[in-house]
A = this chain, B = another copy of it.
Amino acid sequence: MTPPALSQDSRTRLIDSAILHFAAKGFDGTGIREIAKSANTNSAMVAYHFCGKEGLYSEALKALFSRKVSPVSQLASLPAPGAPGARQAALQGLQDYIRAFLTELMTCDGQDPVDEAAMILMAREMQAPRPASSALLIEHLRPYVTHLTSCLQVLRPDLKEDQLFAMGVSIQGLMIHFRNSLGILRLLRGNPAYPEDLANVIQHHIDFSLRGLGVPEAFPSPRN
């Protein structure tokens, strides 16, 4: 079926090594010799397999993305906007989304170095996309945006499309910024183990997001 071996060997070893090194020291801060050495091969293989350093970087990003589609694809799709249980489903879907996304963001903190590198690379790329791979990035992001927007649409049918988009950006931003600024937050708190408890973090983000979105269910005492 699939072209089985065909020297996928040194190629994937190079990609894995590249992910780690690029994440740790950036594109310009990393030499191809360094990458090749960690991959137990020669720097010439970078040109052989990827047509140079830039090609290796793109390929590394692509490999990263193809391993990281989990949180959205696992979530159940929503019933039609008009259906009876739609609102409740959307509410639950949004909470699941936040939990899944945040869990994925955080569980790779310090445990699996490749997962951790993936987040760093993705964050860097989101903030300053390397032109050669920006198309790759937005293609990878689109399903997230779609899923999130479809939830919000059900929960706030009164909002226009611009406003829904802004809501989605904000909810997404809460989580991404939290993850990105973990280093600074720990410095600011003087506590290297800052988040302490992931469950609290998730609950905070769900509460803040739902209230921020303006769904009545999230208000502290709607009937008093």
Contacts and interface: CB of A to CB of B under 8 A. Distances in A.
User: Copy number of this protein in the oligomer?
Assistant: 2
Interface stretch (A2-10, A11-19, A49-57, A207-215): A207-215
Given A25-B28, A127-B123, A184-B141, A173 B169 contact: no
Given A174-B170, A188-B138, A181 B126 contact: yes
B134 A128 contact: no
A183 B129 contact: yes
Interface string A209-224: 1011110100110000
A47 interface: no
A79 interface: no
Interface string A187-221: 11100000000001100110111011110100110
Contacts of A201: 166
Contact of A214 (B127, B167, B211): B211
Contacts of A137: 184
A67 interface: no
Contacts of A208: 167, 170, 212-213
A176 interface: yes
Residue picked from A169, A189, A201, A205, most chain B C-beta under 10 Å: A169
A120 interface: yes
A188 B123 contact: no
A198 to B, nearest CB: 13
19 contacts: A120-B128, A126-B181, A127-B180, A127-B181, A128-B183, A129-B187, A137-B184, A138-B184, A162-B200, A166-B201, A166-B204, A170-B174, A170-B208, A173-B173, A173-B181, A177-B177, A177-B180, A209-B212, A211-B212
